Amino acid sequence: MKKSVIVSAGLAAVLAFTSGCFVSSRSGQVYSRDQARQIHQVEEGTVKAVRPVTIEGSRTPVGAIAGGVLGGALGRNIGSGGGRDLATAAGAVGGAAAGAAAEQQLTKKKGLEITVELDSGRNVTVVQEADVQFSPGERVRVLTAGDGSARVTK
């Protein structure tokens, strides 16, 4: 029994640590493989406003699976006799919910909502990770990809 808990905990830890590998970046400085070597429309403008925001975390099955495995293993070791199956199932369900919530919490990012008045007179707002700071009045470029995604760069 103790061995199954250790193995389950190890598997849950590996899944939890690798869940960050599946999260795509929302940085203004990071391009996905699909965005590389693609034409982006470039418009210049002036930053009008910057507001801190939170970019929600990922919702992949990894957190729920890891939590379910760990919760099921713990439930199995708590229960005994006929209640063991019920404790295992309850632990797996509770663990899956907790694992999904933990994944979302661990992968959320600080972001910026950047409002730019383009030289054309049009106003746009872009939300991206807060890895580069922007200030009102600063001159920037807004790059828009063919899929409609945009980023603000200096």
pLDDT at 113 (0 to 100) = 98
Region for residue 139 given its phi and psi (left: phi exceeds 0; alpha: psi -120 to 50; beta: otherwise): beta
Burial class of residue 18, CB neighbours in 10 A (0-12, 13-18, 19+): exposed
- Indicate the DSSP class of residue 21: G
pLDDT at 143 (0 to 100) = 96
pLDDT at 7 (0 to 100) = 46
- Domain range summary for the chain, segments of one domain joined by +: 1-24+57-107, 31-56+109-154
pLDDT in tens, 66-86: 888 888 788 788 867 777 888
116 within 8 A of 51, measured Cβ to Cβ = no
CATH number of 31-56+109-154: 2.40.50.100
- The full DSSP string for 1-20 is -HHHHHHHHHHHHHHHHHGG
CA distance 37 to 2: 52
Q: What is the mean pLDDT of residues 16-41?
A: 68
pLDDT > 90 fraction of the chain, expressed in percent and rounded: 37
Structure token pair of residue 129: 């990770």
pLDDT in tens, 99-146: 777 777 788 899 999 999 999 999 999 999 999 999 999 999 999 998
pLDDT at 90 (0 to 100) = 80
pLDDT at 37 (0 to 100) = 72
Task: Say if residue 20's pLDDT is above 70.
Answer: no
Which candidate, 77, 26, 79, 74, places its Cα nearest to that of 54?
Answer: 26
Regarding predicted confidence, which is higher, 7 or 101? 101
Task: Say if residue 8's pLDDT is above 70.
Answer: no
